[in-house]
Amino acid sequence: MATDLHAPDVLHGLAGLRFGHPVYIYQQIGSTNTEAKRLAEAGAPEGLLVMAETQTAGRGRAGRHWLTPPGGALAFSLVLRPALPPAQAARLTMLAGLAVCEGIELASPLRVELKWPNDILVNGKKAGGILVESGLQGDRLDYAVVGIGLNVSQAPGADQVEFPATALADGAGQPIDRLRLLRACLNRLQAQYARLADGEALRADWTARLAWLGEKVVVTTADGALSGQAEGVDADGALLIRGETGEALRLVAGDVRLRQG
């Protein structure tokens, strides 16, 4: 079926990269993550990429729906087979976030921040997200699927999202070439993947990009809301907050927003 992401162009765009081979390109799919997981469970090699022009059941963190307007987005999922203890699996979300920021900055004039734990922010609005899903074999990671969704030229409306959204092209004030962006992201994913064991390096780079660093934030968790000053992340991607009475808080899941007043 015809697609705006023409297979020959994609193959040409990914030439010479280690990640992105083989590549499966769909005009429409339910979720690239679901398909990549299926292929990983069937033995797909590290580096396999599933991408789609549009998704009918794109998934975000915490069971949220992810919108992929045809022609206006990038939606792709990469199969990895990391030598990583399951307890450190959140490092994959860290490295993917950094790689996507760097890829966007290589392919556009934008400067990009990270909203913990998995959001790509441009001018304080969400331009993309990352969903890492992994499979275990016994007590080790068998595979991980790194799913990346970017609003390239279209963003969902305020009534469709919980956090304000934007598109990269709107922030940049110019069109963004999707294939150039894809290549830059995969290139940086390869480079960051080599640093996986070095949680300290990931921590420092992540903290440098953390939205609202040093500011008062509210984190909504399954156990309720906590507020305090954002101090950074640790080597395994947990958010570090200095609570209202000076206590050190370490959060592994939740939604962060800037505290008003």
Shortest Cβ distance from residue 227 to ligand BTN (Å)? 22
When the beta carbons of 21 and 61 are compared against ligand BTN, the nearer one is 61
Residues making contact with ligand BTN (CB under 6 A) = 31-33, 55, 58-61, 64, 66, 75-77, 118-119, 129-131, 147-149
When the beta carbons of 65 and 140 are compared against ligand BTN, the nearer one is 65
Shortest Cβ distance from residue 173 to ligand BTN (Å)? 24
Separation between Cα atoms, residue 249 and residue 261, nearest integer Å? 21
CA-based diameter of the chain, in Å? 59
When the beta carbons of 119 and 205 are compared against ligand BTN, the nearer one is 119
For residue 237, what is the DSSP state?
S
When the beta carbons of 93 and 192 are compared against ligand BTN, the nearer one is 93
Closest to 134 measured CA to CA, from 189, 73, 178, 89: 89
Beta strand 113-115 with 73-80 is unpaired
**Which strands sit side by side in the sheet containing 119-122, from one edge to the other?**
23-29, 49-55, 73-80, 140-151, 125-137, 119-122, 113-115
**Both tokens of residue 125?**
């609005």
Residue 246 backbone class (left: φ over 0; alpha: ψ -120 to 50; beta: rest): left
When the beta carbons of 84 and 114 are compared against ligand BTN, the nearer one is 114
When the beta carbons of 19 and 66 are compared against ligand BTN, the nearer one is 66
**What is the CA 163 to chain-centroid distance, rounded?**
16
Shortest Cβ distance from residue 147 to ligand BTN (Å)? 3
Separation between Cα atoms, residue 54 and residue 177, nearest integer Å? 17
Angle at 140 between CA 137 and CA 144, to 5 degrees: 80
Separation between Cα atoms, residue 244 and residue 88, nearest integer Å? 29
Shortest Cβ distance from residue 64 to ligand BTN (Å)? 6
Q: What is the number of the residue whose Cβ is closest to ligand BTN?
A: 129
**Both tokens of residue 174?**
């110019």
Beta strand 23-29 with 49-55 is parallel
Separation between Cα atoms, residue 139 and residue 154, nearest integer Å? 41
When the beta carbons of 115 and 203 are compared against ligand BTN, the nearer one is 115
